[in-house]
Amino acid sequence: MLVDEDRADHIDLNFGCPVPKVTRKGGGAALPWKSELFSAIVKSAVDAAGEIPVTVKMRKGIDQDHLTFLDAGKAARDAGVTAVALHARTAEDYYSGQADWSAIAQLRQALPDVQVLGNGDIWSAQDAVEMMKQTGVDGVVVGRGCLGRPWLFADLEKAITDYLAGTESQTKNAAPNLGEVADAFYRHAELLTEFFEDEGRACRDIRKHVAWYFKGYPVGGEFRAALSLANSLEEIRNLLSTLERALPYPGDEAEGPRGRLGSPKSCALPENWLDSRALSDNHRNQLQLAELSVSGGF
């Protein structure tokens, strides 16, 4: 449907979600364990997409005793994907600890004939270049690292371009002052309004980004709280106008991890999911019911 209606330039199949409401139905990071099902889904997507590139993102596996990334990567390659991206954590790891970049290097070595992308703990352009040096990947995928930092992508483009050209980048990372951050925040809210076609919904959605955008900036708790309660673009604009726009970038206080962290947790799975990598009739029925209960399936 996406291809037929000319709605996509690229289709990414996300098999990396560790959220319990997804994995307990056999979706997300749980699905590659069922190897034939995984292969069938990826092959069907590639065939249906035609000339539209299809990529796959996945995790190392369900836990350290049930790793799937190497065989899933090979299956995705054989199905004809353009690239395979690996978030170097298991579903059990969730977002805790350090990403295991050595697993990305293993995947790169195992798949010399398809693009491999690395994901996990890319908080800066320097992190991206370091991952590429350590693992040999063709590029990186950024998730939580860009939250509240849309300028990170310009940093990445410059640093990676220089690295691939064999030169060390001398360009400093973006260091926006408070006014520039405020402008980016407001533009984000405007774009959400255009996307949702609902200003109130957009203002509610942008609330989760307040702490990320203003991390490290001395704007005060009252301002953050008020911005998190704004119900219109006008309210947001008025609140942002009270900021001291010339305040400089706070440096390290604005850097580093953001988004979900937490501790490892057992991956919620359908009953007896790990008994076999083949899909039982019972699990097939469960997956069909799960697909009917959500918009867009897996």
Active site residues: 17
Interior angle at CA 81, CA 51 and CA 67, nearest 5: 160
Strand partners, 58: 15, 86
Distance, C-alpha 27 to centroid of its chain? 16
3-state secondary structure the chain: CCCCCCCCCCEEEEECCCCHHHHCCCCHHHHHHCHHHHHHHHHHHHHHHCCCCEEEEEECEEECCEECHHHHHHHHHHHCCCEEEEECCCCCCCCCCCCCHHHHHHHHHHCCCCEEEEECCCCCHHHHHHHHHHHCCCEEECCHHHCCCCCHHHHHHHHHHHHHCCCCCCCCCCCCCHHHHHHHHHHHHHHHHHHHCCHHHHHHHHHHHHHHHCCCCCCCHHHHHHHCCCCCHHHHHHHHCCCCCCCCCCHHHHCCCCCCCCCCCCCCCCCCHHHCCCCCHHHHHHHHHHHHHCCCCC
β-pair partners for 116: 84
**Are the beta carbons of 210 and 220 closer than 8 angstroms?**
no
